[in-house]
Amino acid sequence: MNRHDSHSQKLDELDSLLLDALDGALSNTARERLNTLLRDDASLREHAAARLQEEVLLREELRTAEVAHLFDDEMPLPLHIELPEPEAYGSNHRWRWFAALAGCVLLAAAVRLVLVQAKTTPRALPDGLIAVDDQDNRFTVAQPDRLAVITRTINVDWQPNSLRPDMSGTLGPGHLQIASGLLQVEFFSGARLILEGPADFQLVSPMQAVCHYGKLRAMVPPQAHGFRVASAAIDVVDLGTEFGMQIDQDGQGEVHVLDGQVALRDPTGQADEQLLDDGAAVRFTSNGQFHEITSNRHAFIGDAYLSQLEANHQAQRYQIWHAESQKLRADPAALFYANFEDSDPTNRLVHNDAANRLTSDGAIVGCHWAQGRWPGKGAIEFKRISDRVRVNLPGRHRAITFVAWVRIEGFDRWLSSLVLTDEWRQGGLHWQLSDAGEIILGVHGHGNHFSPQVLSPADLGRWIHLATVIDPGTVTHYLDGRPVYTKRIRHARPFELNAAELGNWTPGPSITDNRIRSLNGRLDELGIFSRAFTDEEVAAMFAAGAPG
Amino acid sequence: MDPSDTFLQQLTEHQTQLKGFILASLGHEADSQDVLQRTNLVLWKKAGEFRTDAAFLPWALGVARYEVLAFLRDRQRDHLIFDPDVVELMADAAQQQATELPDRLRALRTCLRQVPKKNLQLLNLRYVHGQSIRQVAEATGRTDDSVKSLLLRIRKRLGQCIEQRLAEQSD
Contact B131 A124 (CB under 8 A): yes
The CA-to-CA distance between both ends of chain B, in Å, stands at: 36
B133 touches chain A (CB under 8 A): yes
Contact A538, A467 (CB under 8 A): yes
Question: Which chain A residue has its CA at the smallest distance from B95's CA?
Answer: A49
Q: Is residue A107 part of a domain?
A: no
* One domain, residues B66 and B144: no
Contact B130 A60 (CB under 8 A): no
Contact B151 A49 (CB under 8 A): no
Q: Is residue A111 part of a domain?
A: no
pLDDT tens track, chain A, 548 positions: 455 668 889 999 999 999 999 988 899 999 999 999 999 999 999 999 999 999 999 988 887 765 544 333 333 333 332 323 333 223 333 332 233 333 334 444 444 444 333 333 333 222 222 222 233 322 223 345 788 988 888 888 888 888 887 656 688 888 999 999 999 999 988 999 999 989 999 999 999 999 999 999 999 988 888 899 998 888 999 987 899 999 998 889 999 999 999 999 888 878 788 899 988 999 999 888 889 998 888 888 888 888 888 888 888 888 899 999 999 999 999 999 999 987 677 888 999 999 988 888 999 999 999 989 988 889 999 999 999 999 999 999 999 999 999 999 988 888 999 999 998 888 899 999 998 889 999 998 888 898 888 887 778 888 999 999 999 999 999 999 999 899 888 888 899 999 999 999 988 777 777 788 999 999 999 999 999 999 999 999 999 998 86
User: Edge to edge, what strands does the sheet with A388-393 contain?
Assistant: A349-350, A362-365, A388-393, A498-502, A415-421, A429-434, A439-443, A447-450
Q: Is residue A103 part of a domain?
A: no
Contact B4 A99 (CB under 8 A): yes
Report d(CA B2, CA A483) in Å as an integer: 14
* One domain, residues B64 and B85: yes
Which one of B99, B126, B149 terminates a domain?
B99
Selected residue with higher pLDDT from B127 and A35:
A35
A503 to chain B nearest CA, in Å? 23
Q: Is residue A371 part of a domain?
A: yes
Q: Could you give the residue ranges of the DSSP H alpha helices within B46-143?
A: 56-74, 84-98, 101-112, 117-123, 133-140
**Beta strand A253-259 pairing with A242-247:** antiparallel
CATH number at residue B92: 1.10.1740
* One domain, residues B28 and B39: yes
Question: Which chain B residue has its CA at the smallest distance from A106's CA?
Answer: B44
* One domain, residues A431 and A459: yes
CATH number at residue A189: 2.60.120.1440
* One domain, residues A248 and A171: yes
Which one of A301, A325, A343 terminates a domain?
A301
* One domain, residues B59 and B108: no
Contact B8 A483 (CB under 8 A): yes
Which one of B99, B131, B146 terminates a domain?
B99
* One domain, residues B24 and B91: yes
Report d(CA A210, CA A201) in Å as an integer: 6
* One domain, residues B106 and B88: no
* One domain, residues A55 and A155: no
Report d(CA A299, CA A203) in Å as an integer: 23
Question: Which chain A residue has its CA at the smallest distance from B109's CA?
Answer: A78
Question: Which chain A residue has its CA at the smallest distance from B97's CA?
Answer: A50
Q: Is residue A91 part of a domain?
A: no
Contact B86 A111 (CB under 8 A): no
Contact A122 B130 (CB under 8 A): yes
Q: Which residues contact B6 (CB under 8 A, 6 or more apart)?
A: B50, B52, B56
* One domain, residues A405 and A461: yes
The helix/strand/coil state of A511 is: coil
Which one of A45, A67, A89 terminates a domain?
A67
* One domain, residues A330 and A422: yes
* One domain, residues B94 and B29: yes
- What residues pair up with A419 in beta bridges, in sequence order? A431, A502
* One domain, residues A353 and A270: no
Contact A57 B152 (CB under 8 A): no
Testing the interface with A: which of B1, B7, B12 to mutate, by most A Cβ within 10 A?
A: B12
* One domain, residues B74 and B11: yes
Contact A48 B90 (CB under 8 A): yes
* One domain, residues A285 and A386: no
Q: Could you give the residue ranges of the DSSP H alpha helices within A68-123?
A: 96-100, 103-119
CATH number at residue B109: 1.10.10.10
User: Which residue in A57, A103, A123 is closest to B108 by CB distance?
Assistant: A57
Q: Is residue A270 part of a domain?
A: yes
pLDDT at B127 exceeding the cut of 90: no
What is the predicted pLDDT for the residue at B89? 96
* One domain, residues B8 and B91: yes
Nearest to A110 by CA among A456, A464, A484: A484
Which one of A246, A278, A301 terminates a domain?
A301
* One domain, residues A254 and A187: yes
* One domain, residues A167 and A233: yes
Question: Which chain B residue has its CA at the smallest distance from A18's CA?
Answer: B27
Q: Is residue A210 part of a domain?
A: yes
What is the predicted pLDDT for the residue at A124? 27
Contact A51 B23 (CB under 8 A): no
Other beta carbons less than 10 A from residue A364's beta carbon: 18
* One domain, residues A389 and A536: yes
Those of residues 51-80 in B touching chain A at CB distance below 8 A are none
* One domain, residues A378 and A297: no
Q: Is residue A80 part of a domain?
A: no
Which one of B77, B99, B121 terminates a domain?
B99
Testing the interface with B: which of A57, A59, A129, A130 to mutate, by most B Cβ within 10 A?
A: A57
* One domain, residues B66 and B110: no
* One domain, residues B25 and B90: yes
A93 residue type, one letter: H
Report d(CA B68, CA B91) in Å as an integer: 9
Domain that holds residue A284: 143-301
CB < 8 Å to B152, chain A: 12, 15-16, 19
Domain total for chain A?
3
Contact A481, A34 (CB under 8 A): no
For residue B131, what pLDDT band results from cuts at 50, 70 and 90? confident
Contact A487 B12 (CB under 8 A): yes
Contact B44 A61 (CB under 8 A): no
A248 to chain B nearest CA, in Å? 36
* One domain, residues B106 and B92: no
Domain that holds residue B49: 3-99
CB < 8 Å to A42, chain B: 93
* Nearest-5° Cα angle at A494, A493 to A497: 130
pLDDT in tens, B83-115: 999 999 999 999 999 888 989 998 998 898 888
Domain total for chain B?
2
B85 touches chain A (CB under 8 A): yes
* One domain, residues A381 and A528: yes
